[in-house]
Amino acid sequence: MIADAKAPREYAIAGVDAIPTPALLIYEDRVDDNIQAVVAQCGGDPSRWRPHVKTAKVGDVMARYLAHGITRFKCATTKELRTLLDINAPDILLSFPVVGATAKRVRDLAASHPESRVSVLIESATHLAAFEGSGLGVFIDCNPGMDRTGRDPANVEALADLVRAVAASGCEYRGLHWYDGHLHGMEPDARERIAHAGYDRLGTLVAKLTKLGLQPKEIIVAGTPAAPCALSYPKWSKIGGEMQISPGTVVYNDTTSLAQMPASWGLVPAAMVLTSVVSHPRTGRVTCDAGHKSVSADAGVPTCSVWGHADWKPAAPSEEHLPIDIPASSATPSIGAPLLLLPRHICPTVNNFDEALMVRDGRVDRAVSVTARGRDGIA
């Protein structure tokens, strides 16, 4: 059993010797805790949260959202869309602009699941043309300063023309998408100030569209770092439309999200990587079997923390190896010893695994497929 005096009992795992490592562990009770915590921050109204399932990836976990009354979702890939459709998610936005054969696949998936309301994200007439006559919902992507996708919100005339084109194309204009995902790595007060200034600009856009008879019914904002800022913004009722936040990381959490999100939200880790010590290369260092093909390195080094050992320092990983520097004050774990790693970025880490082990009451309850990992191939 993995246990540590500094670690909550609920992260202990019985029967660890029977688990090949590295392994992705998902703590189902903690998933429920996190979902309930975010809904509570939304005033108890699940309709204010449209979670992005790029983090969840697992159909069984997406179903936990439904069990808590959440009916609106975001996704980024056709595999994520397919997984949501397979669990009969009522309302899904594909929040990645797609073209060509990928757009056709989205149309085909939506047509094969008419019981679900599928929408797409566009920023141009070129994107819209791929969905002409489909009857799909459409959200228009605005650029809030991230400079990744979206139209300039100051160019009201161009946005108004695009809204009118949606109706003419046989699609449904549903609203605006404002992903301020660049608001991270700063103090909370600064993040809130910048986010609120952005929402003021968004409000100006909505007011001008409304005067043209083009008021958006829904406004989707805020990934994980900006979510508290969106919920603290005082002017949504004046702007109008149904505001929804869209954080995804919060379902599992990682070292980054837990450092950024307010402690008052009560978020907890709900997914970790189980690894084994495989080498003692020198005094003060051990190596485990969780390189960057297991724990994603996209957010930099260290890629993770060692649960229950805040003073242990993971070094730069290779593909399969993760060296960890152990202070002299700590006992060196033996070869074969299990460790739990909390990733720095959980979303791509989940995508590294074909299977996840669902943990309940300190034991592995079942193995499930990470349904939405990877990409669709040619049909």
Average pLDDT, the chain: 94
Q: At what angle do helices 28-41 and 59-67 cross, to 10 degrees?
A: 40
Asked if the model's pLDDT at residue 338 lies above 50, the reply is yes
pLDDT tens readout for residues 13-36? 888 999 999 999 999 999 999 999
CATH class of the structural domain 50-246 = alpha beta
Question: How does residue 12 score in pLDDT terms, banded at 50, 70 and 90?
Answer: confident
**Burial class of 246 by CB neighbour count within 10 A (0 to 12, 13 to 18, 19+):** buried
With contact defined as beta carbons under 8 Å apart, do 40 and 374 qualify?
no
Asked if the model's pLDDT at residue 159 lies above 50, the reply is yes
pLDDT tens readout for residues 213-270? 999 999 999 999 999 999 999 999 999 989 999 999 999 999 999 999 999 999 999 9
CATH number of 9-26+266-369: 2.40.37.20
Q: What pLDDT score was predicted for residue 8?
A: 44
Asked if the model's pLDDT at residue 156 lies above 50, the reply is yes
Q: What pLDDT score was predicted for residue 221?
A: 97
pTM above 0.85, yes or no: yes
Report which residue type is found at 269.
P
Q: What pLDDT score was predicted for residue 11?
A: 85
pLDDT tens readout for residues 192-205? 999 999 999 999 99
Question: How does residue 155 score in pLDDT terms, banded at 50, 70 and 90?
Answer: very high
Q: What pLDDT score was predicted for residue 2?
A: 44
Residues 6 or more apart in contact with residue 266 via CB below 8 angstroms: 33, 37
pLDDT tens readout for residues 293-334? 999 999 999 999 999 999 999 999 999 999 999 999 999 999
pLDDT tens readout for residues 121-152? 999 999 999 999 999 999 999 999 878 999 99
Distance CA 50, CA 71 (A): 8
Q: What pLDDT score was predicted for residue 10?
A: 64
Q: What pLDDT score was predicted for residue 70?
A: 98
Strand partners, 141: 177
For the chain, the domains span 9-26+266-369, 50-246
Q: What pLDDT score was predicted for residue 4?
A: 39
Looking at per-residue pLDDT, the higher value among 379 and 240 belongs to 240
Asked if the model's pLDDT at residue 6 lies above 50, the reply is no
pLDDT tens readout for residues 39-77? 999 999 999 999 999 999 999 999 999 999 999 999 999
At 237, give phi and psi (nearest 5°).
-65, -30
Question: How does residue 379 score in pLDDT terms, banded at 50, 70 and 90?
Answer: low
- The Cα-based distances of 84 to 34, 61, 87, 207, 370 in angstroms read 20, 11, 5, 34, 13
Distance CA 31, CA 64 (A): 8
